Amino acid sequence: MSIFQSAAMKLNAEETTRNRDKRQAATEAVQARFHKEFYYDYSLIFVLIFMLAFGLVMLFSTSSYQAGLEFDGDSTWYLRRQFFSTIFGVAIMFVVSRLPYRWLKKLMVPAYLVSFFTIFLVLTPLGYSANGATRWFRIAGISIQPAEVAKLGMIVFLAGFIDSLGKLAADRKIFTIILASPLPVCLVVYGVTDNLSSALIIMGIALFMLFIAIPDYKRFVIIIAVLAALAALAVLIAEMTKDNPLNYRFLRILIWRDPEAYASGRGFQTLQSLYAIGSGGIFGKGLGQSMQKRFIPEAQNDMIFSIICEELGLFGAIAVILMFVIIIWRLMIIATNAPDRFGALLTVGVMGHLSIQVILNIAVVTNTMPNTGITLPFISYGGSAVVLQLVEIGICLAVARSIRVE
């Protein structure tokens, strides 16, 4: 064999090796792209779909009697509206889950502005009132609660803001600025729509996101201590002015302390809710067999958990809580494995929103805290709320799709 033949064979072998390496690299790239494009958190989707279906069943069971009285015998009125909102929300959720979530960071400032200015639409001819409160506006026959828009907008803004600041977010002055940034929106939500519960939830979301993003827990202990002191002061003021409460919010504290003393007035809803929970027992009276739904005002909204307790008992209540725990746990998994800080913060914001709202709703229904008018996510009646909550889940699924599978 000549030296030229040997060199040619060596070049052919090297070329074959390079081609094999290129093919292997291309195959790995295709596999990585395939996993990245088609990965979904199926556990989260399964539990969520089950929760939505369960919510529709309980909504019909809770609202059919009242709907029949209000809408000329149409017992499915609330169910139909919620069903179409849910289907629309699920469709939007899957669309959002297919989009790259990182583009949301470019919308952090518009998200803040939308959160702020959308609330003022309730003061225009588009706004309308229900149950003595003006908290909605209508566009093309669709009712939207701007406070729900503000919650989603603040999650996007805070995730982008904290991520942009990086390590500077831990500085005390910067930390104070971040914590104060939702205050204008909260004040507008409270001042314009008289919706204290949504304002508290927005601030709670901000605190939750900062708590996860910044490991200095001492300042959070101080914040919690200050909030506890303010809550104790509010209770003290309510007790001192119980003969002539300063406003109805202090009256709610008095009702929380002794609902039976206000059974014929504002304490009626709370008392009937407790009757429903107590009469359900371990396994409940059976689906559709609730008696208290005839007496609880707007049972399909804030107090639907009490009807779940009455019809399905302690067993059904624990099952619902466990479903929420699974959803929160799956969101925590997504946040932990997110490929960047922005994706993790988005998921943490959604996780904080759902956690706070579920805890507060159950606390109100069981009279663990004063009545503040907070709905139960995915179950209570409310079209704009369920659509925007599903959009939030869609964003989390978009983050999950970017997680590389080993």
pLDDT for residue 35 is more than 60? no
Q: What is the pLDDT of residues 295-326, one digit of tens each?
A: 888 888 889 999 999 999 999 999 999 999 99
Q: What is the mean pLDDT of residues 35-44?
A: 66
Angle at 344 between CA 339 and CA 347, to 5 degrees: 130
Q: What is the mean pLDDT of residues 137-160?
A: 87
When pLDDT is cut at 50, 70 and 90, the band that residue 26 belongs to is: low
Q: What is the pLDDT of residues 244-297, one digit of tens each?
A: 666 667 778 888 888 888 877 778 888 889 999 988 888 889 888 888 888 888
50 compared with 215, residue with greater pLDDT: 50
Which pLDDT value is given to residue 132?
64
Angle at 300 between CA 295 and CA 302, to 5 degrees: 95
pTM: 0.86
Buried b / exposed e over 170-192, threshold 16 CB at 10 Å, is eeeebbeebbebbeebbebbbeb
Alpha carbon separation from 141 to 12, 112, 127 (Å, rounded):
72, 25, 12
Which pLDDT value is given to residue 237?
81
d(CA 145, CA 128) in angstroms, rounded, equals 10
DSSP β-bridge partners for residue 138:
143
Structure-token match 């908290």, residue found: 135
> Chain centroid to CA 204: how far?
12
pLDDT for residue 332 is more than 90? yes
Element (H, E) at 138: strand 133-139
When pLDDT is cut at 50, 70 and 90, the band that residue 386 belongs to is: very high
Q: What is the pLDDT of residues 166-186, one digit of tens each?
A: 888 888 899 999 999 999 999
11 compared with 18, residue with greater pLDDT: 18
Q: What is the pLDDT of residues 117-136, one digit of tens each?
A: 989 888 888 877 766 667 77
Alpha carbon separation from 100 to 36, 57, 157, 294, 332 (Å, rounded):
11, 34, 17, 47, 20
